[in-house]
């Protein structure tokens, strides 16, 4: 018996392809008051397997009597579902943890009980304004920073985009709200004299790990997680290069875990100057002595910057160690500012922007420009003065 007229391939099982990576999923809900079949429709983006998995989950919820009619879904319940979706997409644990913190601390207390389909732009705007004036939406605190409120907006807007994709909503109401413009973060960078002073102080600092890792941070611009994920197999002391192949991050309940770089540009091999190479050689010798001292209790994971027993070092442990050093030396910089120092000094040394961007592992040169515009603007003034100096020199020669 042939296919019925008008029935599209794949529609029989409640799944129909709508676009290249878009699928319509229908969930049967029995009969309505008039006796007609009732179905809820969703849009799932991804592969057919993704659509089938979504359909199976909804059917299981129907069977277990936990299914929620989209028209009755609250913002809080939807956000729980969205966070599970983020975890299923294998977003980094730190990213999901950050989303969850924003959701639980700021969004749910304000609009969590509101029906998702009744959420308005006015509700969202009121939440932003109240958070800016009083702090947490429960009324605690003295008001959140513009950057925090803007981050609330980004998280909510991302979640509501997912709601639109699922056809829970026709439009993202957060898109029309007006969060405050985030303040520019104050960026500290050491000048050459300050770097030299810091290097001198590091020579006598008792913590050999901090001595080495601070030098490598200044001379390579690697991020904290990239430094803590560095393995000896990623270091070529003979040719003076280091390869970023993984990054360390702390996940509550799991400890320190290692993640692959997010982009191909984050995975990179960069050259080290002689100062950095010598710092790593000294560190390797100190680490070897430490391994001999610990003996069988040392569990090697090939990490360049490991704890005393070979285990991964927590990122916050490194930040605390650097804080002790900078307080002792009266330095007004954070550990992350060493990366800014590397970038700033290279730009001032007229290193091509493309090279600086590659060393930093930025996804685009535009990101480098946006981050270090204040440095580039100063260089533009110097370039204009240098250009004018060419004519002044020529006039002196002719005179």
Which CATH number does the domain housing residue 215 bear?
1.10.443.10
Structural domain of 250: 192-335
**150 and 260 fall within a common domain:** no
Query: d(Cα 305, Cα 313) in Å, to the nearest integer?
Result: 7
Q: Look at the block and give the residue holding tokens 């749910």.
A: 108
**89 and 216 fall within a common domain:** no
pLDDT, tens digit, 9 for 90 and up, residues 213-248: 999 999 999 999 999 999 999 999 999 999 999 999
Query: d(Cα 344, Cα 338) in Å, to the nearest integer?
Result: 10
Partners of residue 45 on adjacent β-strands: 22
In a domain, 398, yes or no: no
335, 365, 380 - which closes a domain: 335
**157 and 226 fall within a common domain:** no
Strands 255-259 and 247-251: antiparallel
Give pLDDT, residue 254: 82
Could you tell me what percent of the chain has a pLDDT over 90? Answer: 51
In a domain, 358, yes or no: no
- What is the average pLDDT across 168-196? 86
Cβ proximity of 78 and 163 under 8 Å: yes
Query: d(Cα 375, Cα 291) in Å, to the nearest integer?
Result: 43
In a domain, 3, yes or no: no
**216 and 308 fall within a common domain:** yes
**197 and 263 fall within a common domain:** yes
Higher confidence at residue 136 or residue 25? 25
Partners of residue 259 on adjacent β-strands: 247
**110 and 241 fall within a common domain:** no
Query: d(Cα 253, Cα 283) in Å, to the nearest integer?
Result: 31
Residue 22 phi/psi, 5-degree rounding, is -130, 135
Give pLDDT, residue 9: 38
Q: For helices 146-165 and 121-134, give the axis angle rounded to 10 degrees.
A: 160
**117 and 31 fall within a common domain:** yes
Return the structure tokens found at 167: 């056809």
Count of domains for the chain: 2
Contacts 24+ apart (CB under 8 A), 184-188: 185/147, 187/337, 187/340, 187/374, 188/332, 188/333, 188/334, 188/337, 188/340
- What is the average pLDDT across 317-327? 94
306, 335, 364 - which closes a domain: 335
**26 and 147 fall within a common domain:** yes
**163 and 295 fall within a common domain:** no
The CATH number of residue 71's host domain is: 1.10.150.130
First to last CA, the chain: 102
This prediction has a pTM of 0.64
Strands 247-251 and 235-236: unpaired
Q: Which of 144, 155, 76, 232 has its CA nearest to residue 246?
A: 232
Return the structure tokens found at 255: 């400890």
Q: How many CB atoms lie within 10 A of CB 185?
A: 7
Give the H or E element holding residue 45: strand 37-45
In a domain, 394, yes or no: no
pLDDT, tens digit, 9 for 90 and up, residues 99-133: 999 999 999 999 999 999 999 999 999 999 999 88
Cβ proximity of 114 and 74 under 8 Å: yes
DSSP assignment letter at 92 = -
Q: Which of 125, 170, 171 has its CA nearest to residue 152?
A: 125
Cβ proximity of 112 and 79 under 8 Å: yes
**229 and 111 fall within a common domain:** no
């Amino acid at each position: 018996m042939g296919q019925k007229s008008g029935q599209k391939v794949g529609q029989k099982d409640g799944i129909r392809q709508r676009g290249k990576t878009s699928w319509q999923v229908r969930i049967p809900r029995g009969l309505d008051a008039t006796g007609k079949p009732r179905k809820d429709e969703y849009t799932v983006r991804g592969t057919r397997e993704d659509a089938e998995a979504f359909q199976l989950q909804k059917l299981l919820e129907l069977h277990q009597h936990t299914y929620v009619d989209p028209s009755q879904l609250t913002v809080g319940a939807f956000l729980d579902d969205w966070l599970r979706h983020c975890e299923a997409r294998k977003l980094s644990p730190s990213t999901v943890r950050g989303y969850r913190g924003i959701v639980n601390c700021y969004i749910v207390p304000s609009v969590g009980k509101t029906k998702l389909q009744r959420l308005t732009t006015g509700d969202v705007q009121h939440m932003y304004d109240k958070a800016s004036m009083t702090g947490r939406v429960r009324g605690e605190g003295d008001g959140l920073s513009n950057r925090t409120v803007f981050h609330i907006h980004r998280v909510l807007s991302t979640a509501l985009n997912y709601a639109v994709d699922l056809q829970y909503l026709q439009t993202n109401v957060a898109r029309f709200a007006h969060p405050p413009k985030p303040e520019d973060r104050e960026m500290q960078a050491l000048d050459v004299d300050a770097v030299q002073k810091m290097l001198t102080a590091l020579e006598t600092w008792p913590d050999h790990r901090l001595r080495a890792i601070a030098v490598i941070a200044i001379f390579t611009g690697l991020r904290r997680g990239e430094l803590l994920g560095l393995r000896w197999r990623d270091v070529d002391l003979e040719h003076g290069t280091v390869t970023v192949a993984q990054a360390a991050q702390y996940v509550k309940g799991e400890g320190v875990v290692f993640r692959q770089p997010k982009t191909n540009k984050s995975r990179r091999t960069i050259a080290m100057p002689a100062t950095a190479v010598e710092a790593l050689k000294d560190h390797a010798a100190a680490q070897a002595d430490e391994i001999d001292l610990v003996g069988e209790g040392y569990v090697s994971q090939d990490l360049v910057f490991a704890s005393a027993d070979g285990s991964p070092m927590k990122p916050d442990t490194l930040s605390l160690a650097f804080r002790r050093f900078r307080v002792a030396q009266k330095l007004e910089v954070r550990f992350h500012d060493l990366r800014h120092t590397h970038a700033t000094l290279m730009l001032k040394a007229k290193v091509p922007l493309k090279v600086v961007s590659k060393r930093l592992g930025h996804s685009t040169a535009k990101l480098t420009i946006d981050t270090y515009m204040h440095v580039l603007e100063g260089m533009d003034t110097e370039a204009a003065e240098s250009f004018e100096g060419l004519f002044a020199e020529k006039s002196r020669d002719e005179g």
